[in-house]
């Protein structure tokens, strides 16, 4: 069947659209009262992720509430290392924690780096259910963390301010780190392709921590692996987006990895980004998420300012420059979407 509103796909394919499409990173999340209610009932974030029915229900929450141009499957990038055998838990105010992080080769060899996908069937089932419920109204986005970003969590044991453990490994034991990244690249590639086979229309790679890598090391430890994933996705002909936070100085190199679209974080000048990208691929972003904490007038002003900086020839998907925050006001999201869609 043909997707009724395929504007996000059309932008990624370089085809014309009548209005700028919009979706929002973390659009199914804690800012929604119906999400908070369901999460309280189910007991934990991971319980939501692991239930195909609940993940489908959560994915559809913002679609039922707003006129969004794409859905993104409700899941988490860390289900991948969990499927590899790492014990994962989420704690309030702390976030994800791996009880036994990778600190040496022995730790790494304990993990399953082969066929882990039987442990992720709940993700694929959630995609199938959601695709059916969407009934080809809008496209469904599947996603994964990048090899580097997954490695950051797996080696640090969770999130970190300085990422000292993985950066120390980069300098002191680069062979081990490259082996980890190489295996993760194969896993991420196969994981994304399986999402496509189960119904995902677009695939996205979140390189959230790419920006912590020193400039001279970025290609060796992040970009080359992302490019391998993108090359394999491109071979099956599915549109894709890479979001690499705080890596504006790497934009020319990221462009050479040949994605369909590049997500820009909120610190990036869209004028400067357009000069580099030159409409070779689509750009996605990049409103400051904090603006959704303000008011209708401010949101309208800032959205119009951003859209006014986009050249008519630029292939643009509107999004935030990072995930929506839990304190965002649901009514402000409505203002955001209406302002984007009504802009001429």
DSSP secondary structure string for all residues of 19-71: S--B--TT-SSTTSHHHHHHHHHHSSHHHHHH-HHHHHHHHHHHHHHS--S-E
Q: Which residue has the higher pLDDT, 43 or 270?
A: 270
CA gyration radius for the chain? 19
Residues 6+ apart with CB under 8 A from 10: 16, 17
Which CATH architecture describes the domain 7-342? Alpha-Beta Barrel (3.20)
* Residue 92 pLDDT grade (very low, low, confident, very high; cuts 50, 70, 90): confident
Tens digits of residue pLDDT in 59-78: 999 999 999 999 999 999 99
Q: Rounded to an integer, what distance in angstroms lies between the CA atom of residue 192 and that of residue 170? A: 26
Q: Rounded to an integer, what distance in angstroms lies between the CA atom of residue 192 and that of residue 198? A: 10
* Residue 94 pLDDT grade (very low, low, confident, very high; cuts 50, 70, 90): confident
Copy the structure tokens of residue 331.
Answer: 């009514």
* Residue 115 pLDDT grade (very low, low, confident, very high; cuts 50, 70, 90): confident
How high is the pLDDT of residue 97? 93
Q: Phi and psi for 128 in degrees, rounded to 5?
A: -60, -45
H helices then E strands: how many in the chain?
Answer: 16, 9
The pairing of strands 95-98 and 88-91 is: antiparallel
Tens digits of residue pLDDT in 194-204: 999 999 999 99
Q: Rounded to an integer, what distance in angstroms lies between the CA atom of residue 180 and that of residue 200? A: 27
In the block, which residue shows the tokens 């490259």? 178
Copy the structure tokens of residue 106.
Answer: 């022995």
* Residue 79 pLDDT grade (very low, low, confident, very high; cuts 50, 70, 90): very high
Q: What b/e string do you get for 56-81 counting C-beta neighbours within 10 Å, with b at 16 or more?
A: bbbbbbbbebbebbbbbbbbbbbbbb
Is residue 91 scored above 90 in pLDDT?
Answer: no
Closest CA to 24 of 226, 325, 245: 325
Tens digits of residue pLDDT in 303-319: 999 999 999 889 999 99
What's the whole-number average pLDDT of the chain? 96
Q: Phi and psi for 321 in degrees, rounded to 5?
A: -85, 0
Q: Rounded to an integer, what distance in angstroms lies between the CA atom of residue 100 and that of residue 94? A: 16
CB count in 10 Å sphere of residue 9:
21
Is residue 1 scored above 70 in pLDDT?
Answer: no
Copy the structure tokens of residue 17.
Answer: 């659209």
Q: Where are the domains of the chain?
A: 7-342
Q: What are the CA-CA distances from residue 307 to residues 271, 282, 285 (Å)?
A: 11, 14, 10
Handedness of CA 170, 173, 178, 181 (dihedral sign): negative
Give the SS3 label for residue 285.
strand
| % of the chain with per-residue pLDDT over 70 | 100
* Residue 247 pLDDT grade (very low, low, confident, very high; cuts 50, 70, 90): very high
Is there a contact between 96 and 88 (Cβ–Cβ < 8 Å)? yes
| % of the chain with per-residue pLDDT over 90 | 95
Is residue 344 scored above 90 in pLDDT?
Answer: no
Rounded average pLDDT over 148-177: 96
Tens digits of residue pLDDT in 211-224: 999 999 999 999 99
How high is the pLDDT of residue 183? 97
Is there a contact between 206 and 243 (Cβ–Cβ < 8 Å)? yes
Residues classed as catalytic:
26, 30, 39, 76, 153
Is residue 93 scored above 90 in pLDDT?
Answer: no
The secondary structure of 225-245 as a DSSP string is: HHHHHHHHHHHTT--EEEEET
């Amino acid at each position: 069947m043909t997707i009724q509103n395929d504007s996000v796909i059309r932008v990624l394919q370089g085809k014309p659209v009548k209005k700028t499409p919009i979706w929002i990173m973390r659009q199914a999340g804690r800012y929604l009262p119906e999400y908070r209610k369901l999460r309280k009932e189910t007991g934990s974030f991971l319980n939501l992720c692991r239930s195909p029915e609940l993940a489908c229900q959560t994915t559809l929450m913002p679609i039922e509430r707003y006129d969004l141009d794409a859905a993104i499957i409700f899941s988490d990038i860390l289900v991948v290392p969990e499927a590899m055998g790492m014990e994962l838990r989420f704690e309030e105010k702390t976030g994800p924690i791996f009880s036994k992080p990778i600190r040496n080769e022995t730790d790494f060899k304990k993990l399953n780096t082969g066929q882990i996908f039987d442990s992720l069937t709940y993700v694929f089932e959630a995609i199938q259910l959601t695709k059916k419920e969407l009934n080809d109204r809008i496209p469904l986005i599947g996603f994964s963390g990048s090899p580097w970003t997954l490695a950051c969590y797996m080696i640090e044991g969770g999130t970190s301010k300085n990422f000292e453990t993985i950066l120390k490994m980069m300098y002191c034991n680069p062979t081990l780190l490259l082996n980890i990244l190489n295996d993760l690249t194969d896993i991420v590639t196969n994981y994304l392709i399986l999402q496509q086979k189960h119904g995902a229309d677009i695939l996205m790679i979140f390189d959230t921590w790419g920006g912590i890598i020193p400039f001279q090391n970025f290609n060796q430890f992040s970009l080359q692996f992302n490019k391998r994933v993108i090359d394999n996705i491109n071979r099956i002909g599915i549109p894709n987006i890479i979001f690499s936070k705080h890596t504006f100085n790497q934009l020319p190199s990221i462009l050479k990895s040949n994605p369909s679209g590049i997500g820009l974080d909120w610190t990036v000048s869209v004028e400067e980004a357009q000069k580099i990208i030159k409409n070779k691929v689509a750009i996605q972003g990049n409103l400051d998420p904090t603006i959704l904490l303000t008011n209708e007038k401010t949101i309208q002003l800032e959205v119009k300012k951003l859209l006014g900086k986009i050249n008519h020839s630029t292939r643009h998907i509107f999004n935030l420059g990072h995930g929506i925050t839990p304190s965002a006001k649901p009514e402000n999201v409505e203002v955001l979407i209406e302002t984007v869609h009504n802009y001429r």
